[in-house]
Structure 1
């Protein structure tokens, strides 16, 4: 016959059960703690999901509603007060990453000094993403390999040769933006430029990266390089006429460059019945797809040169026939400003603005919306 436990027996059994429950709860994982917050003025890092292996396509599911990618971009930087002011602007904007469009310290042997200047303002873990300019590509005024060592890639899923030709989807899962960084029109150690001529290996790599982004339904494609093609600064079409027209034909949303020490942003440009191709050093009105500040994706491509990262500015040449392609320009002789392009992309909109460094007033803004 079972014995009655009575008052004290039930209390003892309860204590035993409580002890077992506590032991079991100690073995189970608790809820994750809050993510560490960024210190004031320090850009926040992109969460790092598992990195896809080489050749692994990104998940092409639609981005989560409200998910965005915030990045800044500029080139032609140096190690002077101007460069530090621009880096301070970037730190204050707190983007998820920065596209650094070539020409870093402008002098051999200053690679570590440049890297230390960047990390002192943006932090050791911030994705300060590099593509080479002509001042470090051939080793004469710096070495891109040394910059890559002290400012290595910080984004998951990068494919290609980081610092020279690479691509990445951000976020790595359900991406909002595909970034494609290339190096046409500048010389490397053998004194020769890389081959981005029509149907070359590097041409096909770039074209395939654009096509794949569209096939995977990634909302936005951004191409970055050091050299521009269209310019009202000091240079001609170093990026190559054919290569530039290919970017337009494939409807890249935004093309970023440096090299010319000016800020210049085109209207939305397109080829078609009224513009068989874009021809540098000339103007064809039929190449203008949209000329206001609010554009629609697929109508054309916007080109922005942001060569105002901190070194001496160049003049804007208002008599250049390409001038009518540009919606906004700034240079030594016209609204001079150091600063950065600040871009936020969501599944529905890409919104960009030029943010000047302390002491400058020039500004520009534009948006591209998906249909």
Structure 2
């Protein structure tokens, strides 16, 4: 019996060793991949003024608590001192908040306001900005391992002496813009956003003040998002792209890469006009030939609202929405994924 018990014990030990070896030979379980949890959050609106609507929009921006705000031009309008506008902004958002400026036609030439004075009382607060603040500049956010390059331009509006800045093809400002986009792509910055006061595509009152050549270049370079003011409405295009059947942008199906609210990066460009920053709201022109371009809109004759565009980017996704000021109900949202 003792011999049998000894044999059984030896067999059990052998089996345990075999099991242990088998366990040791298995590869360690794969660790979950770490994801980049960083994000950049900003708001953008133009055509503000200093009335109650402007204050309501600033209150909403404060509530959203972005990292910075892009003003898309047209600030205090005529007969209102620049300092009054600046005091309204800093009173709502604080003196240290990055309320970043771009000239609009009401202050670019100094006749109804002076962009230089606005830039003095609301100076740049984003580190690493390159270019001429409030006219033509870009910045990477954040500075280290940036997620987005924001490029701000001033085509189609008069500056001192009544002359527009030259953004024609091959001009110095064209080359500067092209380089800002190309170098962002070369640096593998995930997202590129361009801001301009004047839109090109619109179902409001204006034509392509930004210029067809420059607009086509932004589309061909596949800038992810273009933000505009000038029109006192909200309007958002479908994702637009050039192709074999669409050499230059025209309001037809072949120029639209995607038409829903969930978009893929690299397929085209979305143009958003955020001109409901507080000034009087204007109507949508439902008879405009460019209406097929558009996916969403708000104006005085259709779901009127004041508010701001709210943008959040991570390494893999851009989420854009229109957030109305208190008392309004219109909303819109879309996303672009990598």
TM-score (norm 1): 0.81
Instruction: Select which of 327, 333, 336 maps to 2:301.
Output: 333
Question: How many Å separate the matches in 1 of 2:92 and 2:281?
Answer: 23
The Cα of 1:285 is off from its aligned counterpart by 1.1
Measured in 2, the distance between the counterparts of 1:82 and 1:168 equals 29
Q: Distance in 2 between matches of 1:367 and 1:274?
A: 26
Contact conserved, 1:228 with 1:237, CA < 8 A, in 2? yes
> What's the counterpart of residue 78 of structure 1?
49
Alignment partner of 2:133 out of 155, 159, 162: 162
Deviation readout 1:37-68 (Å, 9 max, x if unpaired): xxxxxxxxxxxxxxxxxxxxxxxxxx971100
Query: 1:8-30 deviations in whole A, cap 9, x for unaligned?
Result: xxxxxxxxxxxxxxxxxxxxxxx
Query: Given that residues 252 and 292 in structure 2 are in contact (C-alpha distance below 8 angstroms), is that contact kept between their aligned partners in structure 1?
Result: no
What is the CA–CA distance in structure 2 between the aligned matches of 1:335 and 1:197, rounded to whole Å?
37
4+ residue segments displaced more than 2 Å: none
Would you say the 8 A contact 1:223–1:252 is kept in 2?
A: yes
The answer for the alignment partner of 2:9 in structure 1 is none
Q: Say which of 316, 320, 329 aligns to 1:348.
A: 316
Measure the CA separation in 2 of the matches of 1:230 and 1:109: 30
For the 8 Å contact 1:167–1:180, the answer to whether it is kept is yes
Displacement of 1:354 = 0.5
Answering whether residue 113 of structure 2 is matched by residue 134 of structure 1, we say no
Name the Cα RMSD after superposition.
1.0
Structure-2 residue corresponding to 1:360 = 328
Displacement after TM superposition at 1:108 (Å): 4.4
Select which of 180, 184, 189 maps to 1:209. Answer: 180
Q: Does residue 196 of structure 2 align to residue 228 of structure 1?
A: no
For residues 177-188 of structure 1, the aligned pairs below 5 Å read 177-188=148-159
SS of residue in 2 equivalent to 1:321: coil
> Is contact 1:108–1:143 with CA below 8 Å preserved after alignment?
no
Is 1:290 the equivalent of 2:258?
Answer: yes
Q: Deviations over 1:102-122 (max 9, x none)?
A: 000002451000000000110
Structure 2 residue 337 is matched with structure 1 residue 369 = yes
Q: Distance in 1 between matches of 2:274 and 2:255?
A: 22
Residue 69 (structure 1) aligned with residue 40 (structure 2):
yes
How big is each residue's C-alpha offset from its partner over 1:299-321, in whole Å with a ceiling of 9 and x where there is no partner? 00000000000001111011111
Structure 2 CA distance for aligned equivalents of residues 284 and 290 of structure 1: 12
Q: Residues 257-272 of structure 1: matches in 2 within 5 Å?
A: 257-272=228-243
1:245 is aligned to 216
Contact in 2 for aligned 1:251/1:300 (Cα 8 Å): yes
8 Å CA contact 1:108–1:139 kept in 2: the answer is no
Uncovered stretches (5+) of structure 2, i.e. residues with no partner: 1-33
- In structure 1, the residue corresponding to 2:160 is in which secondary structure? coil
- Does 2:297 align with 1:324? no
Residue 197 (structure 1) aligns with: 168
Q: CA deviation at 1:246?
A: 0.1
1:154 is displaced (CA, Å) by 0.2
Alignment length (residue pairs): 305
Q: In the alignment, is the contact (CA less than 8 A) between 1:74 and 1:340 conserved in 2? A: yes
User: d(CA) in 2 for partners of 1:190 and 1:108?
Assistant: 20
| CA–CA distance in structure 1, aligned partners of residues 336 and 47 of structure 2 | 26
Q: Secondary structure at the match of 1:319?
A: coil
Relative to the length of structure 2, the TM-score reads 0.89
**Post-superposition CA distance 1:177-221 (Å, at most 9, x none):** 000000000001111100000010000000000000000000000
